[in-house]
């Protein structure tokens, strides 16, 4: 992988860098919030199929329009992500293939198609094609301030949708049978959630890349879950942890040459998760050990 030369230079705290950092922070926060809803709905990995098909959209958008500005590429990625999710649903409905195999096929074949297209583009040396591979593992150093603003706006919109429909989403996640019996359109509400996840996966591409962006949606909510028993707090912590992980990863990748951003963001999130699993009060490992040692009965 050949990152652009600008990475080798030491980072300067320019206005540009700060805006980019803010944009990535917004993405991380929104991914954590949306991911918390997926976790509550017991479908944390639903974005995986979407994430791996985004590459097809990026390559396709470039081939169709010849442009490589971020909004164009991400729009293509969103179309492809939705198509990937639709493909999984179609395979489940119309074939005997089991659910997990359907997801695995879409992941592998979708990613393969994306790789094939990207490699074809690069091999032919089409103008402007350099740098498309950065969507594989994430690379924020090339983001412009304008791009970051776009990402931030979309992320804010996603969070707004979540907050608006929080009561409906919680109801469906907790007791879908009761929700359906009392007249709520459970299917539609699920569709909105899946679409939000697809949007977050696409928006997270510059920060984490196609292969690892699901981690941004999965790990911070898992960490947040250890600390709280209330839904609003879960969303708040999920967003916070996502934000911290994204910013940390981006900051470290700016300092370390040649390192793609995605893995660093994931490792930052994982560190928060491990710490949470160990030290969280009541649910953490240490707290459980302490309860066993002091023979404290579970609170009635």
Partner 1 sequence: MNAVLDGWSIDGATVMHAWAIATAATVAAACALVGTLLVVRRMSLLGDAIGHAVLPGIAVAVLAGGRPGGPLVFAAAVATGLLTVWLTRLVRSAGSLSDDAGTGVVFTTLFALGVVIVTAAASRVDLDPSCLLYGILELVPFDTVVIGGVEVPRGFVSAAVVLATLIAAAIATWKLQVFTAFDADAARAAGVPVAVVTGGLLAATALATVAGFEVVGAVLVVAMLVAPAAAAELLVRRLHHMAGLAITLAVVGTCLGYLAAWRWNASAAGMIAVVLGLEYVAAVVLAPDDGLVARGLGRLRYAWRVLCEDRLAAVWRAEEKGTVAAAPASFLQWLAVGWLRLTGRFVGRAGGLAMSVAGRREAEMIVRSHRLWEAWLGRHAQLPLDHLHPPAEWVEHHLGAAMRQRIEAEVGAAGDPHGSEIPPEA
Partner 2 sequence: MPTLQSRLPGPPPREADVADAGKFVPPVVEFHDVTVAYGGRPVLWNVDLTIAEPCLFGIIGPNGAGKSTLLKSGLGLVPLVHGTARFWGRPLAEVRGRVGYVPQRETVDWDFPVSVMDVVLMGTYGRLGWFRRPGGRERSLARECLDRVGLIDVADRQIGRLSGGQQQRVFVARALAQEADIYFLDEPMAGVDARSQEQIFGVLAGLRSEGRLVVVVHHDLRTAAAWFDRVALIDMRLVATGPTAEVLTPANLRRTYAGQVDLLEEIGQAVAARGRTT
Binding interface with partner 2 (CB under 8 A) = 40, 42, 164-165, 167-168, 170-171, 173-175, 177-178, 180-184, 225, 228-231, 234, 298-300
Distances (CA, A) of 97 to 22, 118, 121, 214: 43, 29, 33, 24
At a CB cut-off of 8 Å and minimum separation 6, what does 184 contact? 168, 171, 172
Q: Where are the beta strands (DSSP E) in 74-200?
A: none
For residue 255, state whether it binds partner 1 (rule: CB under 8 A): no
Residue among 272, 282, 169, 270 nearest 228 (CA): 282
Question: Which of partner 2, partner 1, none does residue 120 bind (CB under 5 to 8 Å by kind)?
Answer: partner 1
CB of 157 to partner 1, least distance (A): 25
Give 143: exposed, middle or buried? Use CB within 10 Å, 0-12, 13-18, 19+. buried
The entry of partner 2, partner 1, none that residue 175 binds, CB within 5 to 8 Å by partner kind: partner 2
40 binds partner 1 (CB under 8 A): no
CB of 164 to partner 2, least distance (A): 6
Q: Which does 94 bind (CB under 5 to 8 A by kind): partner 1, partner 2, none?
A: partner 1
* Residue 43 or 291 with smaller CB distance to partner 1: 43
Told to check if 273 binds partner 1 by CB under 8 A, we report yes
300 binds, among partner 2, partner 1, none (CB under 5 to 8 A by kind): partner 2
Alpha carbon distances (Å) from 208 to 139, 142, 288: 7, 13, 34
d(CA 125, CA 206): 22
Rule CB under 8 A: choose which of 9, 123, 177, 300 binds partner 1.
123
Minimum distance of partner 1 from residue 97's CB (angstroms)? 5
Residue 116 interacts with partner 1 (CB under 8 A)? yes
Which of the ranges 90-98, 151-159, 193-201, 239-247 carries the binding residues for partner 1, by CB under 8 A?
90-98
Nearest to 206 by CA among 60, 9, 18, 26: 26
Residues making up the chain, counted from first to last:
300
Q: Is 130 exposed, middle or buried (0-12, 13-18, 19+ CB in 10 A)?
A: middle
Torsion-angle region of residue 95: left (phi > 0), alpha (psi -120 to 50) or beta? beta
Rounded to whole angstroms, the Cα distance separating 146 from 152 reads 10
Nearer to partner 2, 42 or 124 (CB): 42
* Cα distance between residue 200 and residue 193, in whole Å: 11
Rule CB under 8 A: choose which of 32, 82, 88, 111 binds partner 1.
111
SS (H, E, C) 133-169: CHHHHCCHHHCCHHHHHHHHHHHHHHHHHHHHCHHHH
Q: Closest CB to partner 1 among 152 and 208?
A: 208
Residue 266 interacts with, from partner 1, partner 2, none (CB under 5-8 Å by kind): partner 1
Residue 246 engages partner 1 in binding (rule: CB under 8 A): no
Chain residues binding partner 1 by CB under 8 A are: 1, 39, 42-45, 48, 52, 91, 94-101, 103-105, 107-109, 111-120, 122-124, 133, 136-137, 211-212, 214-215, 218-219, 222, 225-226, 258-260, 262-264, 266-267, 270, 273, 277, 283, 285
């Amino acid at each position: 992988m050949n990152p652009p030369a600008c990475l080798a230079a030491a980072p300067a705290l320019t206005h540009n860098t700060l805006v980019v950092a803010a944009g990535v922070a917004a993405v991380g926060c929104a991914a954590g919030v949306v991911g918390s809803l997926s976790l509550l709905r017991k479908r944390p990995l639903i974005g995986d199929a979407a994430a791996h098909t985004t590459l097809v959209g990026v390559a396709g958008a470039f081939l169709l329009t010849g442009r490589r500005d971020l909004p164009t590429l991400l729009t293509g990625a969103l179309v492809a992500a939705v198509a990937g999710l639709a493909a999984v649903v179609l395979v489940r409905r119309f074939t005997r293939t089991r659910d997990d195999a359907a997801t695995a096929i879409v992941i592998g074949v979708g990613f393969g198609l994306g790789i094939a297209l990207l490699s074809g583009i690069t091999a032919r040396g089409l103008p402007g094609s350099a740098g498309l591979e950065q969507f594989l593992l994430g690379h924020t150093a090339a983001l412009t301030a304008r791009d970051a603003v776009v990402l931030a706006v979309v992320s804010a919109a996603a969070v707004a949708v979540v907050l608006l429909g929080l009561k409906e989403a919680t109801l469906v996640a907790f007791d879908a049978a009761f929700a359906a019996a009392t007249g709520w359109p459970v299917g539609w509400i699920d569709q909105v959630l899946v679409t939000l996840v697809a949007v977050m996966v696409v928006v997270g591409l510059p920060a984490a890349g196609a292969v690892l962006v699901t981690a941004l949606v999965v790990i911070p909510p898992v960490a947040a879950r250890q600390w709280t028993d209330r839904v609003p707090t879960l969303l708040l912590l999920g967003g916070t942890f996502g934000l911290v992980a994204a910013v940390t990863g981006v900051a470290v990748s700016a300092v370390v040459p040649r390192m793609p951003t995605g893995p660093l963001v994931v490792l930052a999130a994982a560190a928060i998760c491990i710490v949470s699993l160990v030290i969280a009060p009541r649910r953490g490992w240490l707290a459980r050990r302490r309860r066993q040692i002091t023979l404290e009965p579970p609170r009635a």
